[in-house]
Chains A and B, each alone.
Chain A
Amino acid sequence: MRRIPRRGFLAGALAGCADAATGAMTPVGAGYRPEAGSDEAELWRALDRMEEGTRQSRFLLREPAIVDYVRDVACRLAPEQCGDLRVYVVRTAQFNASMAPNGMMQVWTGLLLRCENEAQLATVIGHEIGHYIERHSLKGMLDRRNKATAGMILSLGLGAAGGGLGSELAQLAGYASMFSFNRDQEREADAVGLGLMERAGYPTIEAAKVWENLIAENKAMPQRERGPGFFATHPAQEERAETLRRQAAQQAGPADARQGEYLARLRPIRRLLLQDELALRQFDRSLIVLGRLAEALPEDAATQHFTGEAYRLRDQPGDADRALGMLGRAARLPDALAETQRSLGMIHLARRDQRAANAAFRRYIELAPAAQDRLLIQSFIREGA
């Protein structure tokens, strides 16, 4: 099975060597277009074709309210660049975002789930805008290390049929995972991002929290499930969190992380995000994410339900009891999910409590008469129990 490369936003610690960026280049201003016939124009042309593939991808989340919201956050951060960027929300349950030099910005749903507030989303978007403004991709393309990648992108632009290889690549890796930025470029992007956050009135301390949360998540994972070497061995992300925390301490003036706004805006897709997260089958890590969410939204039925599900599916000693507790709570909340009853029924059945199982399964079918597994679940209801 193939692991999606964890680069893009997470690239910093990966790029081991700290070589200087190639040459001096003017940062990108509003309405920037590369000079015709230049290497950069060539790169843009190739990226435009990749973007076409992204636009047609079945993995795109097309809910306008969500896409507009992410774009609004980007525009609030960088009003100068607002007219030049196009936001794509990609349904992939990993933490990542990227911004290509032609203005194509990808935000993965795993990132949306993990941000606790708008300021944390702004952290990642601001960082990516930082790479964009400083033209790190172009510098990377001119850099020896990335020559092969550049060649691949260019050949795509020249040869690939729309929607074919282009879309496969665009979705598979995300544009950002094709170039690796070096550590200086990551620092530079962090600094630009922090500046944008401060100007937009976000508390910059949230930037450090993004990293601290990722570190906590990763520590919860069994060794074998951690990324190839990235979090497992590298202290770089802890340094990065520390640096960001120090820089944030200098912020003056009022700031609002906009947590309420963020959680309310994501509400329509929260269930989808959680469902996709659980499908990764990395329950230890998911439970950290769910725990943070439950703290912010103690009365959210979906959060409680999927926490129960994480325990039920992880199925380690004591998990059935934990699942039963969480699911029982979830079932009593307003907006309880029908599936909560199904999960409760499964646990009762495993414990040979047929009566309780019958009641839960009956309630499930009552709440979700059109459920795809109605017939199978009905077969578990045994009369005379």
Chain B
Amino acid sequence: MKAIRAAILSLGLLAGCTAYEAIPGQPQAIGNGLSVVGEPEFNRRTGAIGRRAEFQQWTADGFELNALHLYGGIGEGETLSPVADRDNRRELPVFRANSNLAEAAEFVQASIAKLGGTALIEARDIRPIAFGGRDGFRFEFRITLKDEVERDGIAAGAVASGRLYLIFYHAPRQHYFERRKPAVERIIASARL
């Protein structure tokens, strides 16, 4: 049961032990030139995750209740999960450097579904936006994991120099999604690339 819980916590993107640090309300480097302005209501999980230093996970109320994943670039041949990359498990969709924005959005949605091990995912309002000053995409999604809890999420990103810069957020639909949504929108809007 413990393994199941861990998987539900953060779509299986968490591995190892967890320590947190506060995030100051200043620009935070995520990696490869991506930075966002911190929101003090969020905390950062410390320590390198998988093989990628340029991946961060933030939460306000604990990963079960809201999780923000920030990628300072997913490169050619990499997946959404640094843990899967480390363990060389490649059932996950693999990012292609020549992806357009629709393909990148497709990659993100398919990866989240696969990580969540569920067919119950729906993306909506998939639209172009400026992300970090680049042409980017944004969409919202609703996903039901094996714990039967409905979660809502937002994903936003851009493809630049063959890398997918990405921020995605998810939280239980009841209460927690809306509660931190304004801060998440500010974080996305603050992205610089």
Contact = CB atoms under 8 A, between A and B. Distances in A.
A88 B110 CA distance: 27
A58 B144 contact: yes
A377 B102 contact: yes
B102 A281 contact: no
A281 B127 contact: no
Contacts of A91: 119-120
Contact of A168 (B4, B90, B123): B4
Interface string A363-380: 000000000110111011
B102 A58 contact: no
A171 interface: yes
B3 interface: yes
Interface-central residue, A58, A372, A376, A377, by most chain B CB under 10 Å? A376
A372 B124 contact: yes
A261 to B, nearest CB: 26
Interface string A38-67: 000000000000000000111100000000
B121 to A, nearest CB: 8
Given A2-B117, A168-B146, A376-B105, A281 B125 contact: no
A1 B119 contact: no
A172 B147 CA distance: 8
Interface string A85-108: 000000111000000000000000
Contact of B102 (A56, A171, A380): A380
Contact of A281 (B4, B92, B119, B147): B92
B96 A315 contact: yes
A300 interface: no
A57 B120 CA distance: 12
- Chain B contact residues: helix, strand, loop or mixed: mixed
A335 B29 CA distance: 50
Contacts of A275: 119
Contacts of A259: none
A141 B92 CA distance: 37
B172 to A, nearest CB: 13
Counting chain A CB atoms within 10 Å of each CB, the highest count among B98, B139, B146 belongs to: B146
Nearest to B122: A372
Interface in B92-126: 92-93, 96, 98, 100-103, 105, 110, 113-115, 117, 119-121, 123-126
Contacts of A92: 119
B101 to A, nearest CB: 6
B153 to A, nearest CB: 14
Given A91-B120, A276-B119, A373 B126 contact: yes
Contact of A376 (B91, B92, B102, B150): B102
Given A58-B120, A168-B146, A168-B148, A2 B127 contact: no
B167 interface: no
B125 A372 contact: yes
Contacts of B127: 373, 375-376
Contact of B7 (A1, A224, A279, A280): A1
A1 B12 contact: yes
The CB with the most chain B CB atoms within 10 A, among A1, A56, A350, is that of: A1
Nearest to A172: B146
Nearest to B125: A372
The winner among A2, A313, A350 for most chain B CB atoms within 10 A is: A2
B31 interface: no
Interface string A275-293: 1100111100000000000
Contact of A58 (B12, B103, B148): B148
Contacts of B101: 376, 379
Contact of A279 (B98, B102, B119, B137): B119
A53 to B, nearest CB: 8
B132 to A, nearest CB: 17
Contacts of B139: 372-373
B128 interface: yes
B183 interface: no
A349 interface: yes
B84 interface: yes
B175 interface: no
Interface in A146-177: 163, 167-168, 171-172
Given A279-B119, A281-B114, 20 more contacts: A1-B12, A1-B114, A2-B12, A57-B148, A58-B150, A91-B120, A92-B119, A163-B148, A167-B148, A168-B146, A172-B4, A172-B146, A279-B113, A279-B121, A281-B91, A282-B91, A346-B102, A373-B102, A377-B102, A379-B101
10 contacts: A1-B12, A1-B91, A168-B148, A279-B114, A346-B102, A346-B103, A373-B126, A375-B127, A377-B102, A379-B128
Listed from nearest, the 3 A-B pairs whose CB atoms lie closest are A373-B126, A276-B119, A375-B127
Interface of B: 3-4, 7, 12, 84, 89-93, 96, 98, 100-103, 105, 110, 113-115, 117, 119-121, 123-128, 137, 139, 144, 146-148, 150
Interface of A: 1-2, 4, 56-59, 91-93, 109, 163, 167-168, 171-172, 224-225, 275-276, 279-282, 313, 315, 346, 349-350, 372-373, 375-377, 379-380
